[in-house]
Every structure is written in C-alpha cells, then in structure tokens.
Structure 1
Amino acid sequence: MIEYFTFFLVLIVLIVLLIMLADRIKVAYPVLLVIAGLLISLIPGMPTVHIEPELIFIIFLPPLLYEAAFVISWKELWRWRRIVGSFAFVVVFLTAMSVAFVTNSIIPGFSLALGFLLGGIVSPPDAVSANAILKFVKLPKRMSSVLEGESLLNDASSLIIFRFAMIAVGTGQFVWQQATLSFSWMIIGGVAIGLLVGWLMMKAHKILPTDANIDIVLTLVAPYVMYIAAEEVHSSGVLAVVSGGLLMSAKRNDFLSSTSRLQGYNVWKSLIFLLNGLVFLLIGLDLPEISEGLEQEGIGFSVAVGYGLMVTAVLILGRFLASFGAVIVTKIVGNFIPVADKNPGLKAPLILGWSGMRGVVSLAAALSIPIEMSNGAPFPFRNLILFITFVVILTTLVLQGLTLPWLIKKVNIPDFGDHYKEEEAEELLKMGLAEHTLQYFQTNYSQQLDSNKHLQPIATLLEHRNNRQQETEMSAEAKKVYLKILEEQRVWLMNENRTDEKLDEEIVRKHLYAIDLEEEKLKYT
C-alpha cells in the first residue's frame, strides 16, 4: 500500500513538472502526459496501475463535468445552441453509428452492439485537450464557445449511447420501444434530478450556518450527489451533473459569499488540474496491461493498431463531413429562419473539423467496461476496445494536438465581429462600471455626504478609482455602504452581460472576481 502511495506521489510531482514543461515549450499538456505515461509504463519493474472499472466513472466524471458546467458561459451556450446541439447529439450519434458499422464489418466476431459500445466511447471530443491547445493560439470567441459547449453536452449523449450498447451486449437484444422509453427517462430524469439536487444544495448553503470551508466541501459533494442520485433511478448521471452544475453556476452569487467563491475557485482549479493530469497519465500507463490482454483474445498487436488507426480515420473523416455539412445546412436553413451567420465560410469548419482530440471521457468510459458480464463470462473484446480507445486518444492528441495550433495560425480565421475585442470590452466595462457606481453613490448618498464624515473616504475612492495610489481607511459604517456599492456593481455587470450579446462573459467574470477580491480586502482594512 505504501509503495503505491509513494508511486502516486511521484506521479503527481511528474504531472506538475510535465505541465510546466508543456507551458514552456507551448505544447498542450495532455500530449506530454500521455507520452510520458507510455514511456513510464515501459520501465521494467514499474507497478501496474489498476483501478476497478466501476469506480472510474464515480471518481473522475462527476467533478470534471461539474467544473466544466460551472465555468461555461450559459449565454454563449444558448447563443450557439443550434450548432452546439447538432454536434453534441446528431453528430455524436452518427459518429457512433459509423464506428459501429465499420468495426462490425471489418473486425471478425465484433457485433454491432460492441460497435455501438466502442462508438459511444470514442465519439466525444475532449474539452480539456482543446482548451490546453487554445491557450497558445487565438481563436474567435464564437468557435471556442462552440467547442466548449459541444464538449460539455456530447459527453452526455455519447455516454447514453454507451449505456444502451452495454445493455445490448449484456442481454443480446435491443428492444426499440423499451429503449425509447428508457432514453426519454434518462434525459428527463437526469436533468430533473440534477436541477432538484442543485436547488437543494443552494438551499442548504443559504439556510445552514456555513462558512467558506463548509461551502467548498458542499460544492465538492454536490456533483457526486447529483450523479449517484440519478444513476440510482437509472437516469443519466452525466446529464444530472451538467444540468445541476449549470444551475448552480448561474446562481453562484446568490448562495456563495465572496470568500467562498474566491477560495472555492482555487480549490476547484487545483482539483481539476490533478484529476486531468492523472487521467492523461493513466492513459499511457495502462497500455502494457491492455496489450497483454490482447493476446488472451487472440489478436496480434499490429492488427490491433491497425484497427485503432482505422477507427481514428473514421472519426476524423466523420467530423470533417459534419463540419462542412453544417455549413451547407446553415445556408439552407438561413433561407427560412434567422441564423447567426448565413455564410460561415470554409476556414471555421476546417478548424472545427480538426479539433476532435479525444481524452478523459473516452478513457473513463473504456476503463469502466466490466471484466466479466453478469453471467460470469468474460466481457467480449474488452481489451481490444480498450486498446482501440488508447490508439484513438494517442493518435488524435499527438497528430491533431500538435498540428492544430499551426493550422489555426496558417488559416488565420478573421474576427467574426460578434464579440467586442478584449481591450474594447475591458475599457467598456471599466468606464461603465465607474460611471454607474459614481452615479449610484451620488443618487443614494449625496445628501448624507456633507453631514456624515464616514462617507468621505468612499467618495474619494470612487472619484480616483483608476489612479489610486494607496488604500483609503474606512470606518465600519463606511464599509457597510461600500459593500452595498460592490453589490450594486455585481448587479450592473450581470445585467450588462445579459443585455449585451457582444460582451464576453469570461471578461465579465474577471471583473466579478475583482469585486470579490475588493470585498475580501475590506475585512482586513
């Protein structure tokens, strides 16, 4: 036990070092972690990393999905709902179906149900990989929003396919009527349970005498409660976490204090950093064990690699067809209903088509396949499915992950003009916030200013906001007034975010974060 603990500590240190190296050489860190895991696994005497399949989903997925839902912009998700929805549901299903028919035709003994199982595993692109790559290149906000929204929702759709395929493999049959009812319940039940648990958690934050530490613990518990509650009634735990996370994200300012938000932000960033690092490293570390299992299934290593490359080719080709097909559909549909852009061009779909790196969810789904079926028989082709998944992840991460930044720079996608430039948005918010705050203060407190000396420091602070050289000391009474002003600033920022479509919510959140910091500083002055 101590040996494994030491091994994992070494892995964590290695993750930190590799991510620092990735930032230094401007390479997406998932690429380095996967390759490092593969190289480490080849060292003689290295302990075999094995996690029980049923624990994979419950350990990794809830917090990863919750954090993704918590940080995504609901405004952008709704704005690009058509393209996001089509890629997250229609394209995922068509991709899984393509993989199913190709593997069923080419791999001897590989049933259609197993094909859909594999298709459900490898169909969703990975948000972590895409975001890690986009750190080093500039992409129009529209495209990054589509990629983020797609990756959040396609996890849910792909895992629903995975769930039904698992049932079909286990029972040997697929009843459409029953599947339709189950599918409906998984979606409706998952969303409803996620919203219910999210609402209950928010009530708990408000009613219970919590502090920042308790608030953070509750947010860490929330995704697991959502996931387990939904899975217990056979609905979608993934959709429960996503819907609950979106709800709690939208209402975060209502039930979390500034202290809880600031500390929680750092705790969650560290947790997700660690989980993502471990998952990508595990991808490489698991290869030797998977390769040994191929021999038991009578499949040669080179043959399995060929199958993996074939599935990868199907995925890449399918995504390109979907990306350029979306352009055609947009042009046709634009004649009948309003669309965001009637002529999206060919550069954007080219980048979108090449942004199909696979990662965390695919690995978690593959590793969650049980070793044995309910009747005690070995799960058919389990090691081959795991190996193909590994080849897909490795190939897409290395091939697409390393070339995507070059392609983005080469294509040079023009600004679509549907968002303010970052500098413009920053200036707009700073000027608007300062003007609104001063107006609010003068409207509500101007008559008290001459008679109440405690308010003078606030007036001085607001008038010289941008050129402040030193902190202004405030009395307890002044702090109460200033807290009201900070809350008014939050309200103004959120209203601006709702009403101005061209405003990037990420920049708004930076200003909200700064207000939280300002509120925290009041406690120590």
Structure 2
Amino acid sequence: MLEDFPFYLGLIVAIVFLIMLGNKIKVAYPVLLVLFGLGISFIPGIPSVRINPELIFIIFLPPLLYEASWAISGKELWRWRRIIGSFAFVVVFLTAVTIAFAANYFIPGFSLALGFLLGGIVSPPDAVSAGAILKFVKVPKRMSSILEGESLLNDASSLIIFRFALIAVATGQFIWSDATLSFFWMLVGGVGIGLAVGWIFIFIHKHFPTDANIDMALDIITPYMIYIAAEEAHTSGVLAVVCGGLLLSSKRHFFLSSSSRLRGINVWESLSFVLNGLVFTLIGLDLPEITSGLGEVSILSAIGYGLLISAVLIIVRLLSAYGAVVVTLIARNFITVADRSNPGMKVPFVLGWTGMRGVVSLAAALSIPVQLADGRPFPHRDLVLFITFIVILVTLLVQGLTLPFVIRKIGLPDFDHPITDEEAENQIRRQLAEQALQYLKNNYGDEFNQQPFLKQMVIKWEEKTQLTDNALLPEEVKKVYLDILDEQRKWLLSKNLQEETLNEEIIRKHLKYLDLEEEKLLFI
C-alpha cells in the first residue's frame, strides 16, 4: 500500500484538475472522472484497484449523505414530500420489479430473485451526478428540490430491496411476513435511531464546553456514529444518517456558534469534494477487476445485457415521471397538493431524464458475496457487476452529457417565484434593516441616545449597508449589536417558515452574512 502512495497522491491532483476542466468546459465532473479512471485502468503498470464495498458504505457514504442532508432545504423537502416519496419509494420499487422481469426474460439463467437483486442495485439515481450537472443550467427550484430529496431517500429504499433479494437468492425462498416486518423495522428503526443519535449530539454541543474545533470534530464523527448504530441494530444506516442530518441541520442555529457554522461550511464542502472525486475515479479504475470474472459470458453479450437494462431504466423513469403528473392532477381534486398548476409535458420529461446512476449502485453490486452459505459460487455475480458498471457508464454519458442541452432547449419556466432572486434579496435586506432599527429603538432607547457608535450603525442601516469601520467598539455596544444580530437571525428563520415559496437559499445567504458580522466583532 505504501509503495502506491505516490499513485494515489497523483490521482487526487488529476481529480482536482479534471474538476476544474469540467467547470471550464461545462461538463459534469462525474462524467470526466469515470472516463479518466476507465482510461488509465488500461495503462500497463497502473496499480490494480479493487474497491472494497465496506469502504464505500462505511467511509464514503455516511459523510456524503450527511453533507447532502445539511445542504437541502427542509421546507422544500416537506413541501414536495408526496412527489419525493413517490420517486424515492414507489418508483424505485416499480423499477426493481420491471428490471427483475426483464432480466429474467432476456438474460439466460437469471431467476426472478436475481433480477430483483439487480433491480435493487441499479434503481436509485445518483445525487452527485445530477447536482453536478444542474449547476451549469438554470432549473426551477421545485425540480432541484425534488431531485435532492429523492436522492436522499432512494438509496435507503433500494438497499432495502437489495437486502431482501440477496436473502432470497441465497436461501431460495422469500417469506412475505418476515419481509414485511423487516421492511417496517428498517424504516421505523432507521428514522428512530437517526433522530435519537442526532439529539444526543445536540445535547453534547449545547451542554458541554466546546469550541469551533471540537464542534467540527464532533460533526465529522456524527454521520459515522449514526450509520454504525443503525447497522448494528440491523436497520437502515442510510435512512438513519439522512434523518439525523436533517434534524441537526434544522437546529444548527440553536446549538452551534457562528464560528462553528462558518467553519462547518468550508470543512464539509472540501471533504465532500475530495470524497466524490475519488469515488467516481475508482468506478472507472475498477473495470478490469470486473471484466476479469465474466467467465463464459462474452464481453459483447454482457455489454448487450447492460445496454438493455439501461434502456429499461430510462424508459421506466420517464413513464414514472409522466405517471406522477397524472396521479397529481387526479389527486388534487381530493387532497391539498403543493401546486395545483399543470406542469405540462416539459417538467416530467426533464425529471425523467435525470436518472444517472453512480456510487451506491456500484457499492451494492460489489457487496454481493462471492460464495453462498453452502460454498457454491454466487450465481452470475460478475455479470451483475458488469451490467451495473455499464448502466452507470451509459446513464452518465447519455443522460449526463445531454441533460444541459435538453434543459436549455425545453426552457423550463420558474413556477414558484413571481419575483427574481435579486428582487427577493433586496426586499429581505431592506426588511432586515427596518426590523433591526425598530428593535434597537424599542429595546435600547437609552443606549441609542448615549452611544455614538449605535447612532452610526443606525445611519449605516438606513443607507442599507452594514458597519464596516475597524474602530474599537465598547463592550456595551458589542452586546447590543450581538443582540440585534440574534434578533435578525430569529426573524429570518421565522420568515423562511412563514413564506412557503421564498427561496431558502436567499435566507441561508443572509444567515451566513449575520454569522460573518458576528465574527467581525471578535476583531474590532
């Protein structure tokens, strides 16, 4: 391992360069990284790379899911809960069923149980790929929220299907009563353990003497502790990490200091950047290991099976997207839905075309045991691995490269925001200044008349700017200013909850600005 260290160091350098190149040429970096890994895997002398699935599930997956759950808007997740839930659970199940029957019919020797296993592996779209592509094009906030929410939950549902199918293949039987109880425990247990461990960490942050460094250390180990606790209880570690992350994200302003929040943004962005880059490169590097075990199945036949499964996945997701619209149009006559307008034909097509597969699918395929309990080789293990790789490659190249063009060509309207983000931001900036002035005059009338610094702040706010002078502030003025910043923070959080269609990214931007203002007080 030590002799290969320069290779892995060079790999990280190449990953950084390729991500910069992808940003420059407007191509999603997962596509470039998979192709890069695939290309260098054929160079003689390159160290053999074999991905350990435990490395993916334990080292990579918890922090990536945790970071994503902190980044997503909880308000948007709740607003679009029905469509997110249908894609994350119903569509994943329908996809797995369709793949099971297609594989059973077209691939020689594939039983229905083995088909379900393959369906559970390839059914969840990858969050990182879609996110990397969507940052180059403008899409309605509702669409990005639905995709983000779906990606947080579909990994859990697909891995539950995968586990049940694995048992069915290994034992040759499937007991519905046991499966139903296990499924219920996976859901309830995962949510419960994620929330319980999350509350424990909130208690530690609030009641123990921590600083920014300790907070960051606790924050990094949190997803691992949640995942391990859930897996030890034989429930869904993925769902537990997502639920714990959502809880901690929603409470971040009540147990973390401004220093910890600001540092956390930088730490998690850097960590997820490196982890995502390594994972997609390793996918490409692992191809020789995958192809070496195909045995009697020819490469051409295996590629054909992979292309077939890829086509089925794309078609099923497109049909599911249109089906979800039809169901919503019918359901709105009986229940309250998030939006009663007709999305037309464009939105479901784009939603259906964002079905790139990635790291979770490959990790699940690699975790298939080599042998059954009785010592026999696991049936078609290497073919399942190869098909999974082809699916990842095809969906990344075909859908990933064409998605920006499709979005620009279709021209999606933004249904949610009658005013632009710039106009909304200016309104919030003005309202924040008005709210701060009113709070200052109502609660600190005497100090306002006695302290010139407070009068200076009032003038700055009235001009819709902030205090930037580096003069030393008296401690009593700092106290007043901190109190006002805290009041503004509460106002922003309240406004975010009250206004359903307000883009939460704008609120988070201003919350970050208040944290920066609070940090400035340490140096003036």
Question: TM-score, with normalisation over the residues of structure 1?
Answer: 0.97
Structure 1 residue 468: Cα displacement: 6.1
Amino acid in structure 1 at the alignment position of 2:397? V
1: CA distance, partners of 2:263 / 2:374? 48
2: CA distance, partners of 1:410 / 1:460? 48
Question: Hey, what does 2:487 align to over in structure 1?
Answer: 488
Question: Hey, what does 1:89 align to over in structure 2?
Answer: 89
2: CA distance, partners of 1:409 / 1:314? 25
Q: Does 1:7 align with 2:12?
A: no
Superposed, 1:33-52 pairs within 5 Å as 33-52=33-52
Deviations 1:340-373 (A, max 9, x none): 1341110101111111111122122222223333
Secondary structure of the corresponding residue to residue 356 of structure 2:
coil
2: CA distance, partners of 1:181 / 1:11? 45
Residue pair 2:142, 2:416 contacting (<8 A) in 1 also: no
2: CA distance, partners of 1:456 / 1:378? 79
1: CA distance, partners of 2:436 / 2:94? 52
Structure 1 residue 432: Cα displacement: 1.1
Q: Structure 1 residues 449-458 or 392-401, which shifts more?
A: 449-458
Structure 1 residue 463: Cα displacement: 3.4
- 2:321 maps to which of 317, 320, 323: 323
Question: Hey, what does 1:202 align to over in structure 2?
Answer: 202
2: CA distance, partners of 1:229 / 1:457? 53
Secondary structure of the corresponding residue to residue 110 of structure 2:
coil
Question: Hey, what does 2:169 align to over in structure 1?
Answer: 169
Amino acid in structure 1 at the alignment position of 2:302? A
Distance 1:462 1:401, change over 3 A: same
Residue pair 2:223, 2:245 contacting (<8 A) in 1 also: yes
2: CA distance, partners of 1:462 / 1:202? 34
1: CA distance, partners of 2:4 / 2:281? 15
2: CA distance, partners of 1:218 / 1:167? 36
Distance 1:473 1:464, change over 3 A: farther
Residue pair 2:141, 2:416 contacting (<8 A) in 1 also: no
Amino acid in structure 2 at the alignment position of 1:172? G
Question: Hey, what does 2:284 align to over in structure 1?
Answer: 284
Structure 1 residue 434: Cα displacement: 1.0
Superposed, 1:298-309 pairs within 5 Å as 298-309=296-307
Q: Does 1:335 align with 2:356?
A: no
Superposed, 1:74-473 pairs within 5 Å as 74-295=74-295, 298-339=296-337, 340-418=339-417, 420-453=419-452, 455-466=454-465, 470-473=469-472
Amino acid in structure 1 at the alignment position of 2:301? V
2: CA distance, partners of 1:463 / 1:333? 49
2: CA distance, partners of 1:111 / 1:463? 72
2: CA distance, partners of 1:169 / 1:224? 30
Residue pair 1:22, 1:29 contacting (<8 A) in 2 also: yes
Amino acid in structure 1 at the alignment position of 2:373? S
RMSD (Å) for aligned C-alpha atoms: 1.5
Question: Hey, what does 1:73 align to over in structure 2?
Answer: 73
Secondary structure of the corresponding residue to residue 6 of structure 2:
helix
Q: What stretches of structure 1 of length at least 5 have no aligned partner? A: none
Residue pair 1:420, 1:502 contacting (<8 A) in 2 also: no
1: CA distance, partners of 2:409 / 2:463? 45
Deviations 1:381-438 (A, max 9, x none): 2211111111111111111111111111111112214464211221121111111111
2: CA distance, partners of 1:192 / 1:453? 53
2: CA distance, partners of 1:191 / 1:70? 16
2: CA distance, partners of 1:7 / 1:213? 31
Distance 1:255 1:373, change over 3 A: farther
Amino acid in structure 2 at the alignment position of 1:156? A
Residue pair 2:51, 2:282 contacting (<8 A) in 1 also: no
Distance 1:219 1:106, change over 3 A: same
Amino acid in structure 2 at the alignment position of 1:352? L
Question: Hey, what does 1:502 align to over in structure 2?
Answer: 501
2: CA distance, partners of 1:214 / 1:445? 35
2: CA distance, partners of 1:293 / 1:333? 49
Structure 1 residue 461: Cα displacement: 4.1
Structure 1 residue 303: Cα displacement: 0.6
Amino acid in structure 1 at the alignment position of 2:76? E
Q: How many residues align?
A: 523
Deviations 1:111-167 (A, max 9, x none): 222211111111111111111111111001111111111111111111111111122
Secondary structure of the corresponding residue to residue 50 of structure 2:
coil
Distance 1:231 1:144, change over 3 A: same
Q: Does 1:514 align with 2:513?
A: yes
> Alignment identity in percent?
64
1: CA distance, partners of 2:175 / 2:430? 61
1: CA distance, partners of 2:379 / 2:519? 57
Residue pair 1:56, 1:367 contacting (<8 A) in 2 also: no
2: CA distance, partners of 1:375 / 1:478? 75
Amino acid in structure 2 at the alignment position of 1:371? V
Secondary structure of the corresponding residue to residue 402 of structure 2:
helix
1: CA distance, partners of 2:419 / 2:156? 32
Q: Structure 1 residues 348-357 or 451-460, which shifts more?
A: 451-460
Residue pair 1:56, 1:364 contacting (<8 A) in 2 also: yes
Deviations 1:249-308 (A, max 9, x none): 00011111111111111111111111111111011000011011112xx11111110010
Structure 1 residue 191: Cα displacement: 0.4
Amino acid in structure 2 at the alignment position of 1:424? E
Question: Hey, what does 2:62 align to over in structure 1?
Answer: 62
Distance 1:184 1:265, change over 3 A: same
Structure 1 residue 72: Cα displacement: 0.7
1: CA distance, partners of 2:470 / 2:438? 22
Q: Structure 1 residues 457-466 or 87-96, which shifts more?
A: 457-466
Q: Structure 1 residues 441-450 or 311-320, which shifts more?
A: 441-450
Amino acid in structure 2 at the alignment position of 1:224? Y
2: CA distance, partners of 1:472 / 1:419? 42
1: CA distance, partners of 2:47 / 2:223? 31
Distance 1:119 1:419, change over 3 A: farther
Structure 1 residue 380: Cα displacement: 2.1
Residue pair 1:69, 1:249 contacting (<8 A) in 2 also: yes
Residue pair 1:490, 1:515 contacting (<8 A) in 2 also: yes
2: CA distance, partners of 1:36 / 1:239? 32
Amino acid in structure 1 at the alignment position of 2:282? L
Residue pair 1:330, 1:342 contacting (<8 A) in 2 also: no
2: CA distance, partners of 1:401 / 1:202? 39
Distance 1:456 1:403, change over 3 A: same
Question: TM-score, with normalisation over the residues of structure 2?
Answer: 0.97
Q: What stretches of structure 2 of length at least 5 have no aligned partner? A: none
